[in-house]
Amino acid sequence: MDKFTVLTGIAAPLPQENIDTDKIIPARFLKTTKRSGLGVHAFDSMRYNADGSENPDFILNQAPYRNSRILITHDNLGCGSSREHAPWALLDFGIRCVIAPSFADIFFNNCFKNGILPIALPREICDELMADSRMGENARITIDLQRQVVVRPDGTEIAFEVDPLRRRLLLEGLDDIGQTLQHEDAIETFEARRRLDEPWMPSITID
């Protein structure tokens, strides 16, 4: 997956609590096993009217937020079912960072696994960042994962905490498979030795 080091962009304010995974990506779009192509359906029920036209009141349909790479919401983002399609849809839309006071546990973990940085900040700080984002094109927010700070448009820095292992994996652009492949030589050595000691056992080959 793509490395996450420093991200600067327009943040979209979505001041709602309990945005569940069905709102992020409705169940009818879960037939695919591909991570691409889901962005057009992200927040489908909020983004589109019944006739398929865009809802002009929804923030991601408004300039300049159509190209937002940061999303700011209220408590309990990603609650509901554990579908991994939710972070897939956000990532395919272009979102690389979500900021909220709290997250559902499985959604929180799935974000890291798919290259999205979830940042938990106090409600009052989230409200301040939302106020910044409402200033539009000129109010860009910077997320510096190396330094673990959010930089507001006025230069004020807000510290955040990330698990050290998860931080390293994002900085290096490693998902679970990429992390495993870092040990490819050791795996090949083990398999070669096992083939000699236990020739009747099936072998594992890393392509």
129-154 tens-digit pLDDT? 999 999 988 889 999 999 999 999 99
Question: Tokens standing for 37?
Answer: 């192509």
The length of the chain in residues reads 207
| Residue 20: pLDDT band with limits 50, 70, 90 | very high
β-partners of residue 159 are 149
Residues 60-85 have pLDDT tens digits of 999 999 999 999 999 999 999 989 99
Of residues 15 and 190, the one with the higher pLDDT is 15
- Sign for the CA dihedral angle at 133, 99, 92, 44 comes to negative
Q: Please give the pLDDT value at position 1.
A: 85
What distance in Å separates the CA atoms of residue 133 and residue 16, rounded to the nearest whole number? 15
Q: Residue 164 burial (CB < 10 Å; 0-12/13-18/19+)?
A: exposed
Is it true that the peptide bond before 64 is cis, omega within 30 degrees of 0? Answer: yes
Angle between helices 85-93 and 105-113 (to 10 degrees): 50
Judged against a pLDDT cut of 60, whether residue 206 lies above it is answered with no
Q: Please give the pLDDT value at position 43.
A: 97
Place of tokens 């057009």: 40
What distance in Å separates the CA atoms of residue 60 and residue 42, rounded to the nearest whole number? 10
CATH number among 3.30.365.10, 3.20.19.10, 3.30.43.10, 3.30.200.20, domain 6-173 = 3.20.19.10
Mean pLDDT, residues 21-29 taken together: 94
Whether 167 contacts 5, CB under 8 Å: no
Single out the residue of 104, 100, 118, 96 nearest to residue 163, CA to CA: 118
Q: Please give the pLDDT value at position 190.
A: 64
3-state secondary structure of 140: strand
> What is this structure's pTM?
0.85
Tell me the HSE value of 205 on the side-chain side, using a 13 A CA sphere: 2
In eight-state DSSP terms, residue 74 is -
Judged against a pLDDT cut of 80, whether residue 167 lies above it is answered with yes
Mean pLDDT, residues 159-171 taken together: 96
